[in-house]
Structure formats: structure tokens, C-alpha cells
Amino acid sequence: MSCGGPKDPRKLTRAGEEALASGDYDAAARYFSDALAAIGNDPARSEYSDAKLGHAESLIRADPKKAKEEFLALAREKPETIQDREFNAFASKLGDANNLVEATEVLTVGIEAFPESPHLVALRDALGDRAKASSDGGALEALKGLGYVGE
């Protein structure tokens, strides 16, 4: 994918999104990496946030810690782009992949930024129930710190 000169970052980002939707996370990561290279990792470019977010999402299963770090870096860098919906969606995907610690860490930052978000409060409770069911004490304690009360 990297050969043949500059590529259209919009097309690469769309290809990455299609690969994500089909479950081909390795291909998605390559497309998003190529899109970021094509835009020079320039946060001012309109495609940047979508490519960065897609790249982070493509890493959720293979490297959840790096996925979390990339997402939180983007949230710090582009707070106007990463709102409570994005925190909710990303933490949900981490939780769906059974990465409860990383999901909880993303959720914690999201709740700190958007304490009134009903989406994030609902996700806190859903992740708390999962942590409780899985006996993940670390995630459960962190979620209790966010206000999870369980049953």
C-alpha cells in the first residue's frame, strides 16, 4: 500500500473504515497508517482525526494499551473532535473486546471531561456489570471510583 507515490488520504481512510467494518484489523491499521503518512500527520488537515481515530480503533484487539494511548492522545490534541460520543464508542469497543482495564481508563477520562453525559454514565454501569461478572477486581474498583454501585 505504501508504494507508488502519494495516495489520497480520504480514499485510504475510507478503505480503512471498510476494513474495520469487515473485521480486517491488520489491513485497517495499514490503510490508516498510510492515510496519516499521506497527510504528514498534520492535525490541521480535515482527514487527520478520522485517520487517527480509525488507527486507534484498528489496534483494539491486537494492542489495547496502544489503542487506548492513541485515542487519549487524540482526545487531548483535538478536544473539539473527541466528544462524549467518541469516548462512549471507543470505550464500548474496548469493553466488547474484553479489554476492561483499558475501557475503564478511557471511560474515566471521558467522564472527567463530560461528567453529565448520560451515555458515559450508562457505559460505566455496563462495564461495571461486566467487570463484576468477570471478577476483574481492578476494573471494578476503578469503576466504583467513578460512581458504579452495581446491584
Same domain assignment for residues 21 and 91: no
Q: Which of 14-28, 48-62, 74-88, 122-136 has the lowest mean pLDDT?
A: 122-136
Same domain assignment for residues 91 and 49: no
For residue 91, give its domain range. Answer: 64-151
pLDDT of residue 151: 59
- CA dist 127 and 148 (Å) reads 9
- Taking the CB of residue 23, how many other CB atoms lie within 10 A of it? 9
Same domain assignment for residues 130 and 75: yes
Same domain assignment for residues 92 and 140: yes
Same domain assignment for residues 72 and 134: yes
Average of per-residue pLDDT across 124-145: 84
Same domain assignment for residues 68 and 53: no
Q: Which cell is 40 given?
A: 504528514
pLDDT of residue 1: 47
**Could you report the per-residue pLDDT of 87-103, keeping only the tens digit for each?**
999 999 999 999 999 99
Give the SS3 label for residue 103: helix
The answer to whether the pTM exceeds 0.95 is: no
pLDDT band for position 144 (cuts 50, 70, 90): confident
